[in-house]
Amino acid sequence: MAEGVAVRAENLTRRFGEVVAVDHVSFQIREGEIWGLLGPNGAGKSTTVRMLCGILEPTEGTAEVLGLDVRHHPEAVKERVGYMSQRFSLWGDLTVLENLEFYAGVYGLHGAEARRRVCEWLERAGLADRAGDLAATLPGGFRQRLALGCAVLHRPALLFLDEPTSGVDPLSRRDFWELIHSFAEEGTTVVVTTHAMDEAEHCDRLAFLYGGRIIAQGPPAEIKRTRMEGVVLEVQTDRPVEALRAVEGHPSVREAGLHGAALHVTVGAAEAASELLEFLQAQGVPVSGVLPAVPSLEDVFVSLVETLEGSR
């Protein structure tokens, strides 16, 4: 294994019959980083992760996980990685404690060591008071932290989280990301798939997956700086919806979308700002300013997809 590389994928491909779910993707994941796989539903994120976990055989290409070829040593890979699926696969008719004890056992932990780690997790995840509750009775956030516990009890060097925050309230979501960051600080490599662009900001580096292909990868800041086609302007207004409707017809606007309380507009060049301001004022929309803005990941993603679709 090359120094500091947790995962190395080369031309990784998976076909299901005629459908190419993952199409020759190549990437490297460094040890101890949080690596995000970003893309819409059906882009091939879960399929990629499943191949890396050793539960789905690649049709083509190679993947080395923690120095092990997933095609030849899937069982050895399984022992060293943790995986949490998007459905938080727990047994509702087992208690919190029983769920954790089961996974401790199948990962080969036993006796005092197993008990200690289970207790540690109950404390760390705030589940101690609920240890005897049936998993089916837990609210979403607790279920998620329990599922995470089941995946990390054996202290994997590499942790896969497939859509970990789907169906979880924002507060639990924040707690969850705190846990993820603490893992990374302890040296665990974390691979997260998500379709939520705001969550991708938590990642050290990420890859955009679209139609089974990686269309951009790198640190979020770098992607925003280098991969944005055109310029993003922020329209400061009290009536963003009205403004959105107005700018959509303007010829120099490539893309427009609400971004929090403001409106993000993608244009060809920064010079369009004053033109746009005048245009909006002429339309009777109260606008306090139109300024160049740092593009969000969503802006970049949308522009990348537009460019891609346009070139086809």
Partner 1 sequence: MNFRRLWSVVRKEVAQLRRDRRTLVTMLTLPVVQLVLYGYLNSEVLHQPTAVWDQSASAESRAFLAALENTRYFSVRYRVRNLREMESLLDAGRAKVGVVVPRDYGERVRTGRAASLLVVVDASDATSARVLLQVAQALGVRISQDLQVRALARRGQRPPPPPVEVRTRAWYNPDLRSQVFIVPGVLGAVMQFVTTFLTLGTIVRERELGTFEQLVVTPVRPAELMLGKLLPLVGLAYFNLTFILLVAWAWFGVTVKGSWVLLYVLTFAFFFSSLGLGTLISTVSRTFLQAAQLAQAILLPSILLSGFLFPRESLPPFLQYVGLAIPLTYYVTVIRGIYIKGVGLEHLWPQVLALLALGIVVFGAAIVRFQKKLD
Is 176 near partner 1 (CB under 8 A)? no
Piece in contact with partner 1 (CB under 8 A), picked from 51-59, 60-68, 183-191, 268-276: 51-59
Is the CA virtual torsion 271, 275, 281, 283 positive or negative? negative
Shorter beta-carbon distance to partner 1: residue 31 or 98: 98
One DSSP character per residue, 215-239 reads EEEE-HHHHHHHS--SEEEEEEES-
Is 239 near partner 1 (CB under 8 A)? no
Q: Give the one residue of 6, 25, 37, 53 binding partner 1; rule: CB under 8 A.
A: 53
Which run of H or of E encompasses 145? helix 140-152
Q: Which two tokens stand for residue 1?
A: 């294994």
Q: How far apart are CA 82 and CA 281, in angstroms?
A: 55
Shorter beta-carbon distance to partner 1: residue 91 or 289: 91
- Radius of gyration of the CA atoms of the chain, in A: 22
Q: Do the Cβ atoms of 36 and 207 come closer than 8 Å?
A: yes
Piece in contact with partner 1 (CB under 8 A), picked from 18-26, 78-86, 229-237, 242-250: 78-86
Query: 257: exposed, middle or buried (C-beta count within 10 Å: 0-12, 13-18, 19+)?
Result: middle
Shorter beta-carbon distance to partner 1: residue 127 or 276: 127
Shorter beta-carbon distance to partner 1: residue 135 or 302: 135
Where does 39-85 have alpha helices with state H? 45-53, 74-80
> To the nearest whole angstrom, how small is the minimum distance from the Cβ of residue 192 to partner 1?
16
Is 183 near partner 1 (CB under 8 A)? no
Piece in contact with partner 1 (CB under 8 A), picked from 87-95, 117-125, 184-192, 273-281: 87-95
Piece in contact with partner 1 (CB under 8 A), picked from 103-111, 195-203, 255-263, 302-310: 103-111
Q: Give the one residue of 4, 40, 42, 105 binding partner 1; rule: CB under 8 A.
A: 105
